[in-house]
Amino acid sequence: MIKLLIADDHNVLINGLKLILGARSDFKVIAVANNGIEVIDLIKIERPDVILLDINMPILNGYQTLGIIKADYPEIKVIVLTMLNDKRNVLNMLEAGAKGYLFKDTDDKNLFKAINYVYQGEYYVSDGLENILEEFLCSHKHPDKKNKHILSSRELEIVSLIIDGNTNAEIADLLFLSTRTVDTHRKNIFYKLNLNNTALLVKYALENKAFLGLQ
């Protein structure tokens, strides 16, 4: 049985998904969340196999939440469930570690198929997004060429400040962000660059300044 967590800030959608998925004996909705903080807190207790994750959520959005999930719980599979259909959002979520990307108007058959595919470690996207998925998969055949495109401008800014020796609190003050937001960005950076501590990040960034576009 595949254990599922649904994360969305609209309870009507959550209730509809629970009804649809509850009709299947091979799926079990073990938890629901309305924001990213709730997702992270619930994961510690419930440990779902697959998370259905909205992008536009309060407190921590889907992208920030996904970065934390993949950094701390890489075994959990994530399917993005959203109405956002632009290429940038699709690529950003795939780069952050999502295995699936579905539109909220997807039918039951494709939802069930996506959950099973993703649970088995495969990718699944809504109709019309196949070319974007193919582009993503092709770019990952050459991992040394992808890092500059993975990091956002904000993340590059934070990397630069980390190199200069600033703490999370100092970076938060300089960029007018919360310390929690800076910490989330730092975790996303570690995940995207496949690093696990600040010392390795500084070493990598110093050795790849030109490649990353840092001064």
Q: Which structure tokens are listed for 153?
A: 């401008």
Q: Per CATH, the architecture of 2-139 is what?
A: 3-Layer(aba) Sandwich (3.40)
Q: Which structure tokens are listed for 133?
A: 């998925």
Per CATH, 2-139 and 144-212 having the same topology is answered no
Q: Output the pLDDT for position 72.
A: 87
3.90.1530.30, 1.10.10.10, 1.20.120.420, 3.10.20.30: CATH of 144-212: 1.10.10.10
Instruction: Give the angle 154-158-163 at the CA atoms, nearest 5°.
Output: 150
99/123 Cα distance (integer angstroms): 5
52/31 Cα distance (integer angstroms): 11
Residue spans per domain, the chain:
2-139, 144-212
Rg over CA atoms, the chain = 18
Q: Output the pLDDT for position 32.
A: 96
Q: Residue-wise pLDDT tens for the chain (215 aa)?
A: 999 999 999 999 999 999 999 888 999 999 999 999 999 999 999 999 999 999 999 888 999 899 889 888 889 999 999 999 888 889 989 988 999 999 999 999 999 999 999 999 899 999 888 888 888 887 766 444 444 446 777 888 899 999 999 999 999 999 988 888 888 888 888 877 878 888 888 888 887 776 566 65
Q: Output the pLDDT for position 176.
A: 87
Q: Which structure tokens are listed for 22?
A: 């509850």
The two most distant CA atoms of the chain are separated, in Å, by 56
Please indicate, yes or no, whether the overall pTM of this predicted structure exceeds 0.75.
no
51/162 Cα distance (integer angstroms): 32
Place of tokens 């800014």: 157
Phi-psi region of 111 (alpha: psi -120 to 50; beta: other; left: phi over 0): alpha
Q: Output the pLDDT for position 102.
A: 96
Q: Output the pLDDT for position 143.
A: 47
